[in-house]
Amino acid sequence: IDSGLVGRINDSYKTPLQQQTWTLRSFPEGQRNCYNFKLTANRKYLIRGTFVYGNYDGLNQIPEFDLHIGPNKWTSVILDGVANASIYEMIHVLPQDRLQVCLVKTGKTSPFISSLELRPLNNKAYVTQSGSLMSFARIYFPETPSYLRYRKKFFIFQEQKFFIFQDKNSSFSTK
């Protein structure tokens, strides 16, 4: 992406957050700003956008905007406070070798993004008849923490739930 401005969240919000969310890219210019990727057609990908406002602009106005996959609306980004991270995930099969993830301005505030991740998945995982899958919830179930130690890093086991993305107000299609 060639547009946007690099910003940093306010230092007072950094402590509980992962370091990769301390910086962000905002888009005060233009109605629609897109990241363009050349990937593998007919491959399944996890697409994850993370958003932490952290009053990076000093305005203390939590932005509202939309995320699109190409021309189709994926979701509206709803931020739950200045310092809370909002994460949006989708499992999407690319019908072609290009992917466009866009931030679309819907009001007076500027869209921004803290991180955008693309992870190729095994095409046999999360099988659906058609369409993409949007994350519904990420829930931690065990009564006591369950950790897996791997090369001096700890991982918490989590259960991830996805549902088929079918919104009557959207024209999203993978065909």
- Tell me the sheet residues that pair with 47: 90, 118
Residue 37 near residue 71, CB atoms below 8 Å:
no
Q: Which two tokens stand for residue 135?
A: 């994350």
Query: When comparing pLDDT for 142 and 167, which is higher?
Result: 142
In this prediction, residue 140 carries a pLDDT of 58
Residue 125 near residue 155, CB atoms below 8 Å:
no
In tens, the pLDDT along 85-97 reads: 899 999 998 889 9
Query: Which amino acid is present at 136?
Result: F
Find, among 73, 76, 71, the residue nearest to 111 by Cα: 76
DSSP character at residue 58:
S
User: What is the band of 83 on the pLDDT scale with cuts at 50, 70, 90?
Assistant: confident
User: What is the band of 12 on the pLDDT scale with cuts at 50, 70, 90?
Assistant: confident
Whether residue 38 has pLDDT greater than 90? yes
Q: What is the mean pLDDT of residues 24-46?
A: 94
User: What is the band of 128 on the pLDDT scale with cuts at 50, 70, 90?
Assistant: confident
Whether residue 39 has pLDDT greater than 90? yes
In this prediction, residue 99 carries a pLDDT of 95
